[in-house]
C-alpha cells in the first residue's frame, strides 16, 4: 500500500509517498525557516500564507517522484497538534485530494508521526539497514512544542510517562539561541557553537522535587539570560563567550533528557529507546543516549527528525492496517493530545 503523507503543522510544507510503512518512494519539503528568521520566531499568519504558496509545487514533485497518481492508495495528513492556520492548509489539501481521487483518508497525530520516522527503511542516522523497533519501547519525542517520554506498548498503544511542565526542549534551544544572538531556529546554530567551546559554562541542572519523570527547562533559560547579562555589560558577547555558553546550555539539556530516558527505560523494562522530533537531530544528544542507554537506540537521520511528510505516511500505513478511516467531517485539532 502506497500512502501520500502531508505535513503542515508548523513552518514546513512537506509531502511524501511511502510504501507499506517502510519504503520511502519520494518526498519534498519546503522550509520557511529563512522567512521567519528575520522575526526571530514563527509568525502564524505568515506561515499559513506561505503554505498556500508552497504546497502545490511540493505535491507535484512528490507525486511525480512516486510515479504519478495511479501509484497512490491512500492520503494521510497531520491533524494536530500545531498552528491552526498552518494545519488547515495541508489538511484541506489532503481532504480535497482524497475526495477527488476517491481514496481512503486519515488524520494523523503529529507526534505519533515523529515517532514513526524510526520505521523508515534506511532512515536511521547511521544509514544502517535495521529492523523496525521492537515493542515495548520508550520514546523520547523532543520537538519545538513538546518534550514527551512515552511508553510504546505496540502500534498506536501509548502511555505518557513524562512531559515538560513549561518550555519544550526545542523551544529552550530557540530561546537560548536568541539570547546568544545565534538566530532562528536555534537548535542547529547552538549545536555548531557548542562544538567550538573551550570551557563550557556550568549551569545548574533542573530538578523537580516530586520525583516525577517530567521535565522543566524554564529555569535553565533564566540561568542563561543571567549569565549573558553578567558577561555582556555594554558590549556584545565575544565569540568565545557565545560558544562556552552554548555548550554549557546544551550539556544540561542533553544530560537531563538522557538521564530521564535511561531511568524510564530501566523502570519499564523496555527493549529499545527511540529518539524522535527536531531536537533528536542533535548529535550530542544522540551520542549521549547511545553511550548511556542499556538497550539499543533508534534515532532517525536529521532530515527525518525535523518535520516531514515521510513520518506521516509511515504512521498512517499502520493506522490504515488497523482499519482506521476518517470521514469528511474530520477537523484539525491544534491541541490534540497523544494520549487521552
Ligand atoms: O519537530 P520539529 O521540526 O518541529 C516541531 O514539531 O516543533 O522541531 C523543531 C525544533 C526547533 O525548536 C529546533 O530548534 C529544534 O527542533 N532543532 C534542534 C536541532 N535541529 C532542530 N535542536 C537541537 N539541535 C539540533 N540540531
Ligand atoms: Zn514536529
Percent of all residues in the chain with a pLDDT value above 70, rounded to a whole number: 100
C-alpha span between 161 and 152 (Å, rounded): 10
All three cell numbers of 21: 510503512
Q: Is 32 helix (H, G, I), strand (E, B) or coil?
A: coil
Q: Which of 283, 274, 338 is nearest to 119 (CA)?
A: 274
23-31/157-163 β-pairing: unpaired
Atom 20 of ligand 1, residue of closest alpha carbon:
187
Tell me the best of 111, 118, 144 to mutate to test the pocket of ligand 1, counting ligand atoms within 8 Å of each CB and taking the most.
Answer: 144
167 lines ligand 1 (CB under 6 A): no
Q: Are 117 and 314 in contact (CB under 8 A)?
A: yes
Residue by residue, DSSP assigns 135-185 as: SSEEEEEE-SS-EEEEEEEETTEEEEEEEBSSS-HHHHHHHHHHHTT--SS
Region(s) of the chain under CATH 3.30.420.40: 2-123+303-321, 137-299
157-163/137-142 β-pairing: unpaired
Atom 19 of ligand 1, residue of closest alpha carbon:
187
133 lines ligand 1 (CB under 6 A): no
- Give pLDDT, residue 102: 98
Task: Give the distance, in angstroms, between the CA of residue 136 and the centroid of all CA atoms in the same chain.
Answer: 21
Please say whether the dihedral angle defined by the alpha carbons of residues 126, 132, 134 and 136, taken in this order, is positive or negative: positive
All three cell numbers of 263: 531511568
147 lines ligand 1 (CB under 6 A): no
Task: Kindly provide the residue ranges of all beta strands, DSSP E only, lying in 20-133, ordered along the sequence.
Answer: 23-31, 74-80, 105-109
Q: In what order do the strands lie in the sheet with 2-7?
A: 23-31, 12-19, 2-7, 74-80, 105-109
User: What is the value of pTM for the model shown?
Assistant: 0.97
CATH number of 137-299, picked from 3.40.50.1370, 1.20.1600.10, 3.30.420.40, 3.40.30.10 = 3.30.420.40
Roughly how many angstroms between the first and final C-alpha of the chain, as a whole number? 29
Confidence of residue 278 (pLDDT cuts 50, 70, 90): very high
Protein fold of 2-123+303-321: Nucleotidyltransferase; domain 5 (3.30.420)
- Give pLDDT, residue 284: 98
C-alpha span between 338 and 336 (Å, rounded): 7
Task: Give the distance, in angstroms, between the CA of residue 209 and the centroid of all CA atoms in the same chain.
Answer: 28
Q: What is the pLDDT of residues 84-118, one digit of tens each?
A: 999 999 999 999 999 999 999 999 999 999 999 99
CA of 113 to the centre of ligand 2 (A): 8
Q: Which of 200, 203, 213, 214 is nearest to 164 (CA)?
A: 214
Q: What is the pLDDT of residues 224-258, one digit of tens each?
A: 999 999 998 778 899 999 999 999 999 999 999 99
281 lines ligand 1 (CB under 6 A): yes
C-alpha span between 9 and 218 (Å, rounded): 24
- Give pLDDT, residue 12: 97
Q: Which of 52, 38, 9 is nearest to 306 (CA)?
A: 9
CA of 78 to the centre of ligand 1 (A): 17
Amino acid at each position: 500500500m502506497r500512502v501520500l503523507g502531508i505535513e503542515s503543522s508548523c513552518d514546513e510544507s512537506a509531502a511524501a509517498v511511502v510504501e507499506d510503512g517502510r519504503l520511502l518512494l519520494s518526498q519534498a519539503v519546503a522550509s520557511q525557516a529563512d522567512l521567519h528568521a528575520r522575526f526571530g520566531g514563527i509568525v502564524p499568519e505568515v506561515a499559513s500564507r506561505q503554505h498556500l504558496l508552497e504546497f502545490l509545487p511540493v505535491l507535484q514533485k512528490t507525486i511525480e517522484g512516486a510515479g504519478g497518481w495511479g501509484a497512490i492508495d491512500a492520503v494521510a495528513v497531520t491533524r494536530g497538534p500545531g498552528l491552526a492556520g498552518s494545519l488547515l492548509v495541508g489538511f484541506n489539501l489532503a481532504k480535497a485530494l482524497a475526495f477527488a481521487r476517491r481514496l481512503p483518508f486519515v488524520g494523523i497525530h503529529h507526534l505519533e508521526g515523529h515517532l514513526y520516522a524510526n520505521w523508515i527503511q534506511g532512515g536511521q542516522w547511521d544509514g544502517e539497514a535495521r529492523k523496525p523497533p521492537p515493542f515495548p519501547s520508550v520514546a523520547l519525542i523532543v520537538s519545538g512544542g513538546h518534550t514527551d517520554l512515552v511508553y510504546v506498548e505496540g502500534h498506536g498503544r501509548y502511555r505518557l510517562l513524562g512531559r515538560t511542565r513549561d518550555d519544550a526542549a526545542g523551544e529552550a534551544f530557540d530561546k537560548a539561541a536568541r539570547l546568544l544572538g545565534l538566530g532562528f531556529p536555534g537548535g542547529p546554530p547552538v549545536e555548531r557553537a557548542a562544538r567550538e567551546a573551550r570551557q563550557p559554562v556550568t549551569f545548574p541542572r533542573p530538578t523537580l522535587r516530586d520525583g516525577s519523570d517530567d521535565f522543566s527547562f524554564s529555569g535553565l533559560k533564566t540561568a542563561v539570560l543571567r549569565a549573558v547579562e553578567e558577561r555582556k555589560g555594554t558590549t556584545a558577547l565575544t565569540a568565545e563567550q557565545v560558544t562556552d555558553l552554548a555548550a554549557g546550555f546544551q550539556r544540561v539539556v542533553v544530560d537531563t533528557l538522557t538521564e530521564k530516558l535511561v531511568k524510564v527505560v530501566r523502570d519499564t523494562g523496555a527493549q529499545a529507546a527511540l529518539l524522535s522530533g527536531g531536537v533528536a537531530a542533535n548529535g550530542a544528544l544522540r551520542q549521549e543516549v547511545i553511550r548511556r542507554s542499556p538497550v539499543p537506540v533508534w534515532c532517525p537521520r536529521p532530515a527525518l527528525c525535523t518535520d516531514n511528510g515521510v513520518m506521516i505516511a509511515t504512521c498512517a500505513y499502520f493506522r490504515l492496517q488497523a482499519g482506521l478511516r476518517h470521514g469528511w467531517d474530520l477537523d484539525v485539532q491544534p491541541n490534540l493530545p497523544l494520549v487521552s
